[in-house]
């Protein structure tokens, strides 16, 4: 199990980018990225001992930054075929906060998530992580901070063995080789795949590939975790294990899912998207109690 609260990315990071692009589909959407670089200073604001000062809580102060660790402002995104999948998304997530992202098929959840580490860049509007605007020049630093697990594990896994896939991120972050085995084993154990390092990713079942995809990001220990439908395809035991893992994680966490029981069990906050915009955002309990709202957006009580 990954220890809760571990969040520092340490060690000398390689200055160059490691981008693996899948041959199928839209190369941008499927860019599999384990890119690392020194995060900008702003990203590490607040990682040390808290410094109390007059600026705290004020706009631009440390507490203010922590309260909007992820900030999505008026984001529009149009796919190359002209379809506008995001039509003015506004969202803030505090450091260490856990929120579920829900909404019907095609609402724009995956599209939004791909903006959080710069795989998609907004057509209009801005996305900030730790106060740093995500754009072409910062995307690779942002990717060291934001671990994104794709909806489709085949977009995540590309190495000949499970071990190599899970070791890829930490290796290219400059984690000492002596530590790599330990990181990989811990990440695999956290997703119930201990000892699977020598298996071939493309021979695993869908649920197993989903678990290994999570491990490729956990092994990097980023400060922000973004999981796109992590419970889809998991068996009941896998789902319980995932719930335990999500609860134990100390990082800022945004998880998209259609599993309302998972939402109710893990997430105090729920963000609802429909048709490219955020239509609801608040305490999970309150939203799940509003039958008319749930009905209007194709959702159900757990
Ligand atoms: N590469 C693409 N080109 C054109 N349109 C796209 C592309 N990818 C997604 N879309 C469209 O953008 C909209 C949002 O899709 P997205 O995958 O973000 O939805 P979602 O909320 O994640 O849905 P699901 O619950 O099915 O995963 C959909 O209408 C979809 O058809
Ligand atoms: Mg999706």
Q: Does residue 92 carry a pLDDT above 80? A: yes
Closest ligand to residue 79's CA:
1
Q: Which residue has the tokens 């499927």?
A: 30
Distance CA 18, CA 204 (A): 25
Q: What angle separates helix 162-172 from helix 206-218, to the nearest 10 degrees?
A: 20
- At 71, which CATH number? 3.40.50.300
Tens digits of residue pLDDT in 200-253? 999 999 999 999 999 999 999 999 999 999 999 889 998 999 999 999 999 999
Write the DSSP string, 45-83: TTSSS----TTTTSTTSHHHHHHTSEEEEEEEEE-TTS-
Distance CA 209, CA 284 (A): 29
Tens digits of residue pLDDT in 106-158? 999 999 999 999 999 999 999 999 999 999 999 888 988 999 999 999 999 99
Which atom of ligand 1 has the smallest separation from the CA of 113?
A: 18
Tens digits of residue pLDDT in 15-73? 333 333 333 333 333 334 433 333 444 454 433 334 344 445 667 788 889 999 999 99
Distance CA 135, CA 170 (A): 23
CB-CB neighbours of 130 under 10 Å: 27
Look at residue 12 and tell me if it is in a domain. no
Write the DSSP string, 24-52: SS-TTTTEEE----PPPGGGGTTSSS---
Look at residue 3 and tell me if it is in a domain. no
Look at residue 15 and tell me if it is in a domain. no
Atom 16 (ligand 1) nearest CA: 108
Beta bridge partners, 226, equal 148, 254
> Domains in the chain: how many in total?
1
Look at residue 27 and tell me if it is in a domain. no
Instruction: State the pTM of this model.
Output: 0.83
Which atom of ligand 1 has the smallest separation from the CA of 26?
A: 1
Look at residue 263 and tell me if it is in a domain. yes
Q: How far is the CA of 109 from the centre of ligand 1 (A)?
A: 8
Closest ligand to residue 273's CA:
1
Q: State both tokens at 9.
A: 């990315």
Domain of 147 in residue numbering reads as 56-296
Tens digits of residue pLDDT in 250-297? 999 999 999 999 999 999 999 999 999 999 999 999 999 999 999 999
Q: How far is the CA of 229 from the centre of ligand 2 (A)?
A: 7
Atom 17 (ligand 1) nearest CA: 110
Q: How far is the CA of 150 from the centre of ligand 2 (A)?
A: 9
Distance CA 170, CA 176 (A): 9
Could you report how far apart the first and last alpha carbons of the chain are, in Å?
27
Closest ligand to residue 86's CA:
1
Q: Does residue 4 carry a pLDDT above 50? A: no
Cβ within 8 Å of residue 83, ≥6 positions away: none
């Amino acid at each position: 199990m990954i220890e809760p609260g571990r969040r520092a990315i340490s060690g000398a990071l390689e200055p160059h980018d490691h981008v693996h692009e899948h041959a199928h589909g839209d190369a941008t959407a499927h860019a599999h990225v384990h890119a690392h670089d020194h995060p900008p200073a702003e990203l590490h604001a607040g990682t040390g001992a808290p410094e109390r000062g007059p600026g705290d809580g004020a706009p631009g102060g440390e507490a203010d930054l922590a309260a909007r660790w992820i900030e999505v402002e008026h984001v529009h995104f149009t796919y190359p075929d002209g379809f506008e999948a995001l039509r003015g998304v506004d969202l803030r997530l505090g450091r260490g906060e856990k929120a579920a992202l829900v909404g019907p098929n095609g609402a724009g959840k995956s599209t939004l998530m791909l903006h959080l580490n710069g795989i998609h860049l907004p057509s209009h509007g801005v996305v900030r992580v730790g106060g740093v605007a995500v754009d072409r020049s910062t995307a690779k630093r942002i990717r060291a901070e934001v671990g994104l697990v794709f909806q489709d594990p085949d977009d995540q896994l590309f190495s000949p063995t499970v071990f190599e896939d899970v070791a890829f991120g930490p290796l290219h972050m400059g984690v000492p080789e002596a530590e790599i085995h330990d990181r990989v084993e811990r990440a695999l154990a956290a997703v119930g795949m201990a000892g699977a390092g020598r298996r071939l990713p493309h021979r695993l079942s869908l649920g197993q590939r989903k678990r290994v995809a999570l491990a490729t990001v956990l092994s990097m220990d980023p400060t922000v975790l973004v999981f796109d439908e992590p419970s889809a395809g998991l068996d009941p035991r896998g789902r319980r294990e995932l719930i335990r893992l999500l609860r134990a994680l100390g990082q800022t966490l945004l998880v998209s899912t259609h599993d309302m029981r998972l939402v109710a069990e893990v997430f105090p906050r729920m963000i609802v998207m429909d048709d490219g915009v955020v239509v609801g955002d608040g305490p999970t309990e309150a939203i799940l109690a509003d039958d008319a709202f749930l009905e209007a957006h194709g959702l159900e009580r757990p």
